[in-house]
Structure 1
Amino acid sequence: MDKISLSKAKARDFLISYQGLKPSNQFSGKQGIIDFIHRVGCIQFDPLNVVGFNQELVLQSRIYNFCTHMLQELLYKERVLLDGWDKNMSIYLTEDWPCFSRFRALKREQLKNVKEVQAIRHDVISIIKEKGPVSSKDLSYNQIVDWPWAPTRLSRAALESLYFAGDLIIYNKDRTRKMYDVTDRNLPEQLLLKEDPNKTFEQYVDWYVMRRIGAIGLLWDRSGDAWLGIRGIKSSDRKMSLQRLIEAGKLIEVTIHGISNKFYMRKTDESFLTKHSGGQSYASIIAPLDNLIWDRKLIKELFEFEYIWEVYKPVNERSYGYYVLPILHNDRFIARFEPVKDKKKKVLMIKNWWWEPGFTVSEQLKFDLKTCFERFIRYLGVEQILADSNLIEEKNLGWLVDEK
């Protein structure tokens, strides 16, 4: 049984190297997107777009010269990537389709109990086969039905049900509007006929546990957001799987000085421990649902940084702001800020900025943040960073932004 012990600093360095956030091991271009998602399994999708969607924010911090069209082409032209359920709604490699057979089978069973959808299932598929891709607005099933998020039109419920069951895929998206098409018109027959490689439930659990550990790089056996979205697997199943995988030599048990919980990493990722921990200083803007911070309790323990995404909190309950992004500098989170993009004026507005306690604004930090934000505004397609004069003075940001 492989066991290793790490300091907190070494564990942080491992995670950042593994996640491709260091300039020395970042990815490049469309192939870089594929390579990164191959490493982590999936990236999380979210429909909110303040300075880009979550999936775009994840990629801009790792893919050199990332442009949003790269992801769109991989998803909706080349179909190398797929919208699907994994860590909640996610994006993963199309080649992983057979591995989610159990999820689709579960959804097909559940669909039998939704009588309203079941009654129109074949009609919806026939309409799409005849007319081509549709959105819920293109269908006239206006009956309101109960739905997990909230009561909705039968048109939407039917399309989403057939999508989760595997009959449909998301053909394209116009912002958050989903266009659906029949699956067998878009994915290769050879892939659709491929059997689930996980023949038994134990194999399925082991595959998913390995996948979730690989999504972050280093994970503990504690309930948290990192384990969300795995349907049908209990914490007891996970615990037994971890033991099986350790005994099989596929996982390494990791202890981190100062943290009582055991951690686990994939044996195949051990090489990231030996990567040079020094190198070029840098800063990165991190997505709110970034793989690195899926487990907020882990981040608090390891990085001494507490982050809660407050978009769904009432205004009077927020500690910071509506849409706030963390900023990583080398191996520490040093600040967070609330951005807004003005498309017409091509401006990034900084509504607010919060430095973490104990950090000195050195010349190196200024240089790294300037470089980081230059890259960020290129990604956004804006030309200037602005903030109120009071904020600039209060937060010592004159070297980074201009007055509004």
Structure 2
Amino acid sequence: MVAPGQRLRPSDLVFALETERSLVEHVSFIRTMEDIGIHLGVADEWINPSVAAWVEANDGYRRRVLAELAASGPVAAGALPHDPDVPYASSGWDDDKSARRLLEVLCLRGDVGVVGRDGRTRLWDVAERAYPADLFRPGPSEARRLRDNKRLTSLGIARAKPQRSPGEASPIGALGTEVRVEGLDGTWRVDPDALDALSEPFEGRTAFLSPFDRLVYDRDRATDLFGFEYVLEMYKPAAQRRWGYFALPILVGDLLVGKLDAKADRKKGLLRVFAVHEDEPWSPETGDAVAAEIDALAAWLGVEVVR
């Protein structure tokens, strides 16, 4: 993979997902292959009962899809049978896409997996070829315990009952060490290793985060701990947006300091920077660090910056 401190290239990610298979695409997430069995063990938490009932009512269809995958995989959803016994119907956005909906449920459960992409189209295959034969897959109770411990480790500090987020349903509960944060009501849970690391030197960096990054995804936590206000505005009318369609939170050191409103125009080879929002006035050093990161982002994308 990539050495610590080395920048990840797009080709590194493709290699890890499709050749090395140290990473695996699992519905809306990219997980490590080492941990994917833990997430498969608790997948039913994220399957709506009505969807589970639809899959059960389509047992014959499920068998036909799995048989076709076993015979022809890896293939795209469009190459699979589209003849469910009971068609899948929703509020409209995924009507007439029964194969895709079935594959996503089977992927959550670990019956099938994503093994690559053809452009932006996912390629599916049966579990026997998608996952290693010795995949560690604990039972639900152990999987939940391991998942929640890993979640607290990744966050460092969290409320005992944080905001529900996709793929991370359960509360932190009594894991870790109970602490109070000065100026905030209630108690928090802290990973003991994070407490031990407080005496170690910290070397921060400047980075643009996805709105779905776990550092900011729990908006209440981001506000409480960092004083960082953020709303994903892609579903708002343009006139009501404060920061942009898909503004990226800006991390500098251990502070969240603003948002970047930018869009990659790959056809024209441009990164269009519409606005750089400063939550509070920045020092010249912070401004220079953010500007350098914009240039680095453009280089990573293989485009030129237009401010």
TM category, shorter: 0.7 to 0.9
Distance in 1, matches of 2:196 and 2:260, equals 34
Are 2:78 and 1:137 aligned? yes
Deviation at 1:304, TM superposition (A): 1.5
Q: Which residue of 1 aligns with 2:148?
A: 209
Are 2:108 and 1:164 aligned? yes
Choose the corresponding residue for 1:123, options 54, 57, 64. Answer: 64
Choose the corresponding residue for 2:268, options 325, 329, 345. Answer: 345
> CA 1:365 to 1:317, structure 2 compared with 1: closer, same or farther past 3 Å?
closer
Distance in 2, matches of 1:295 and 1:76, equals 31
Q: Which residue of 2 aligns with 1:44?
A: none
Deviation at 1:350, TM superposition (A): 0.8
> CA 1:342 to 1:150, structure 2 compared with 1: closer, same or farther past 3 Å?
closer
Distance in 2, matches of 1:72 and 1:282, equals 25
Structure 1 contact 220–262 (Cα < 8 Å) conserved: yes
The 3-state SS of whatever aligns with 1:190 is coil
Distance in 2, matches of 1:258 and 1:171, equals 47
Q: Which residue of 1 aligns with 2:224?
A: 301
Comparing both chains, which one has the higher relative contact order based on Cα–Cα distances under 8 Å and sequence gaps of 6 or more?
A: 1
Distance in 2, matches of 1:313 and 1:204, equals 37
Structure 2 contact 209–249 (Cα < 8 Å) conserved: yes
Choose the corresponding residue for 1:376, options 291, 297, 305. Answer: 297
Between 1:135-144 and 1:348-357, the stretch displaced more is: 135-144
**For residue 13 of structure 2, what is the amino acid of its counterpart?**
L
Choose the corresponding residue for 2:10, options 68, 71, 86. Answer: 68
Deviation at 1:141, TM superposition (A): 0.9
> Cα RMSD between the aligned structures?
2.9
Choose the corresponding residue for 1:275, options 184, 195, 200. Answer: 200
Structure 1, unmatched stretches of 5+, are: 1-28, 33-62, 246-250, 388-404
Distance in 2, matches of 1:120 and 1:31, equals 45
**For residue 264 of structure 2, what is the amino acid of its counterpart?**
K
- The aligned length equals 302
> CA 1:102 to 1:310, structure 2 compared with 1: closer, same or farther past 3 Å?
same
Deviation at 1:370, TM superposition (A): 3.1
TM-score, length of structure 2 as denominator length:
0.85
Are 2:97 and 1:97 aligned? no
Structure 2 contact 234–245 (Cα < 8 Å) conserved: yes
The 3-state SS of whatever aligns with 1:375 is helix
Give the fraction of aligned pairs with identical amino acids, expressed as a percent.
22
TM-score, length of structure 1 as denominator length:
0.66
Structure 2 contact 295–305 (Cα < 8 Å) conserved: no
Distance in 1, matches of 2:75 and 2:6, equals 35
The 3-state SS of whatever aligns with 1:307 is coil
Between 1:74-83 and 1:333-342, the stretch displaced more is: 333-342
> CA 1:126 to 1:204, structure 2 compared with 1: closer, same or farther past 3 Å?
closer
